[in-house]
């Protein structure tokens, strides 16, 4: 399918978690619409072919793809990466990071309370989950702004889920990170509004990705979501990528500080027996 180019050649997306799921699909979809991509990801040798494929698809669109395999929550690495982006842009360049997407999935999935102490989440695991899945957004935004890499018209997005306002077994730390992510987004929307930069949380529906499969009981979650979703299917990474492209339009510049459902209305449905009863 031929895509209309929406973005300017000097516009870049910085995607945290660009090698899989929502981040991977968004990298490809944004490139289809003319955006260059900086991708941050954490992959071992076994999953590198997937990363190479995403880079290939971006380049196939005639866009640039610069990927960093690193821990996005490491302050030294983060600063080095942002310095490198600044250097690449040069001092008088019109290049800009139009969009920052935080799509990192790296949390401890353990209950708070368990019979054996080692089966319950500990302090280090809780703090790591909050740091990677929520707080790191703020540090990346600070780094972009202090270097003048994001300008008026910039867009910031964080991924959240229905777990940000409801509970799931073993998901307590991630739930807390989602609630914090939504709060960080509101705070950024307020502080960056005067600069013409928006911030929104995208609440994706249940989506079959590597991160989802790590949640204990994932198969059951997928089945229930298929039954529950009014659209009669699961959310896909591409659903989120399409929404992201829309929200980068000029006309979306007044949409800020929200939690935007990209889930086919799955979250507002509480009855789960639709299909199961058939």
Ligand X SMILES: NC(=O)c1ccc[n+]([C@@H]2O[C@H](COP(=O)([O-])OP(=O)(O)OC[C@H]3O[C@@H](n4cnc5c(N)ncnc54)[C@H](O)[C@@H]3O)[C@@H](O)[C@H]2O)c1
Binding site for ligand X (CB under 6 A): 17-23, 40-43, 71-73, 103-106, 132-133, 159, 161, 204, 206-207, 209-212
| Kind and range of the H or E run holding 25 | helix 21-32
Residue nearest to ligand X (CB): 21
Name the nearest CA neighbour of 137 among 2, 277, 14, 30.
Answer: 14
Q: How far is the CB of 69 from ligand X (least distance, A)?
A: 8
Nearer to ligand X, 132 or 197 (CB): 132
Nearer to ligand X, 36 or 103 (CB): 103
Residue-wise DSSP of 232-251: SS-B-HHHHHHHHHHHTSGG
Strands (E), 2-110: 11-16, 36-41, 65-69, 96-102
Nearer to ligand X, 120 or 168 (CB): 168
Q: How far is the CB of 34 from ligand X (least distance, A)?
A: 22
For residue 145, the tally of other CB atoms under 10 A from its CB is: 18
Nearer to ligand X, 41 or 155 (CB): 41
Nearer to ligand X, 51 or 150 (CB): 51
Q: How far is the CB of 133 from ligand X (least distance, A)?
A: 6
Burial class (CB in 10 A: 0-12, 13-18, 19+), 35: buried
Q: How far is the CB of 215 from ligand X (least distance, A)?
A: 8
Burial class (CB in 10 A: 0-12, 13-18, 19+), 133: buried
Q: How far is the CB of 192 from ligand X (least distance, A)?
A: 21
């Amino acid at each position: 399918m031929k895509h209309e180019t929406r973005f300017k050649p000097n516009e870049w997306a910085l995607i945290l978690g660009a090698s899989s799921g929502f981040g991977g699909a968004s990298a490809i979809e944004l490139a289809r619409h003319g955006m260059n991509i900086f991708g941050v990801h954490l992959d071992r040798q076994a999953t590198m072919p997937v990363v190479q494929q995403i880079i290939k698809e971006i380049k196939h669109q005639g866009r640039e793809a610069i990927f960093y395999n690193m821990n996005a929550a490491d302050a030294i690495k983060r600063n080095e990466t942002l310095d490198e982006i600044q250097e690449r842009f040069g001092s008088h360049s019109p290049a800009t990071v139009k969009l920052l997407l935080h799509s990192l999935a790296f949390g401890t999935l353990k209950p708070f309370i368990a019979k054996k102490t080692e089966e319950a989440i500990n302090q280090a695991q809780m703090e790591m989950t909050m740091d990677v899945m929520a707080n790191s957004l703020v540090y990346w935004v600070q780094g972009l702004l202090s270097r003048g890499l994001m300008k008026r018209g910039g867009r910031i997005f964080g991924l959240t889920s229905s777990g940000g306002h409801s509970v799931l077994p073993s998901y307590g730390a991630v739930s807390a990170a989602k609630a914090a992510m939504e709060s960080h987004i509101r705070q950024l929307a307020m502080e960056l509004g005067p600069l013409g930069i928006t911030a929104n949380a995208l609440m994706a529906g249940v989506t079959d990705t590597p991160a989802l499969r790590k949640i204990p009981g994932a198969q059951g979650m997928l089945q229930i979501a298929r039954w529950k979703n009014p659209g009669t299917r699961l959310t896909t990474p591409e659903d989120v990528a399409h929404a992201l492209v829309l929200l980068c339009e000029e006309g979306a510049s007044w949409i800020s500080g929200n939690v935007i459902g990209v889930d086919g209305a799955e979250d507002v449905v509480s009855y789960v027996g639709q299909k199961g009863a058939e």
